[in-house]
Structure 1
Amino acid sequence: MWDYTDKVLELFYDPKNQGEIPKTDEPGVKLATGEIGSIACGDALRLHLKVEVESDKILDARFQTFGCTSAIASSSALTEMVKGLTLDEALKVSNKEIADYLGGLPEAKMHCSVMGQEALEAAIYNYRGIPLATHDDDDEGALVCSCFGISESKIRRIVIENQLTDAEQVTNYVKAGGGCGSCLANIDDIIKSVQQESTAPTLNNYGVKVATNIAISQQQSPRPLTNVQKIALIQKVLDEEVRPVLIADGGDVELYDVDGDHVKVLLQGACGSCSSSTATLKIAIEARLQERVSKNLIVEAVEP
Structure 2
Amino acid sequence: MAKWTYSDKVKDHFMNPRNILREDNEADFHGIGQTGNIKCGDEMIVYIKVDPDTLTITDCKWRTYGCASAIASTSILSEMVIGMTLDQAYAITAKDILKELDGLPDNKVHCSVLGDKALRAAIDDYYRKNGMEDRVRTKGAKVVCQCMQVTDEDIEHAVLDGARSFLELQEMTKIGTDCGECKEEAQNVMTGYIQKHFGL
Scaled by the length of structure 1, the TM-score of the pair is 0.51
The verdict on how the C-alpha distance between 1:181 and 1:125 changes in structure 2, with shifts beyond 3 A counting, is closer
The size of the alignment, in residue pairs, is 192
Distance in 1 separating the partners of 2:121 and 2:55: 16
CA distance in 1, matches of 2:90, 2:182: 34
1:242 corresponds to which residue?
Answer: none
Deviations 1:140-184 (A, max 9, x none): 6xx5x6x85977715614624875565345446434165367936
Give the superposition deviation at 1:96: 1.2
Is the CA contact (8 Å cut-off) linking 1:177 and 1:183 kept in structure 2? no
Query: What are the Cα deviations for residues 175-223 of structure 1, in whole angstroms up to 9, with x where unaligned?
Result: 416536793696399379649946x7xxxxxxxxxxxxxxxxxxxxxxx
Question: How has the CA–CA distance of structure 1 residues 53 and 189 changed in structure 2, closer, same or farther, with 3 Å as cutoff?
Answer: closer
5+ long unaligned stretches in structure 1: 201-304
CA drift of 1:34 comes to 1.1
Q: Is the 8 A contact 2:26 2:47 kept in 1?
A: no
Q: Does 1:190 align with 2:190?
A: yes
Bigger strand fraction:
1
Asked if residue 136 in structure 1 is aligned to residue 139 in structure 2, the reply is yes
- Equivalence for 1:55: 54
Cα distance change on mapping 1:163 and 1:43 into 2, 3 Å: farther
Aligned 8 A contact 2:19 2:60 in 1: yes
Cα RMSD after superposing both structures: 3.8
Contact 2:54 2:85 in 1 (8 A): yes
Cα contact 2:35–2:148 (8 A) shared by 1: no
User: Which entry has the higher C-alpha Rg, 1 or 2?
Assistant: 1
CA displacement, residues 113-140 of structure 1 (integer Å, 9 cap, x when unaligned):
2221211111111111138842334416
What amino acid sits opposite 1:108 in the alignment? N
Identity %: 29
Higher RCO, Cα 8 Å, sep 6+: 2
User: 3-state SS of the aligned residue for 1:110?
Assistant: helix
CA contact (8 A) 2:7 2:104 kept: yes
2: CA distance, partners of 1:71 / 1:162: 25
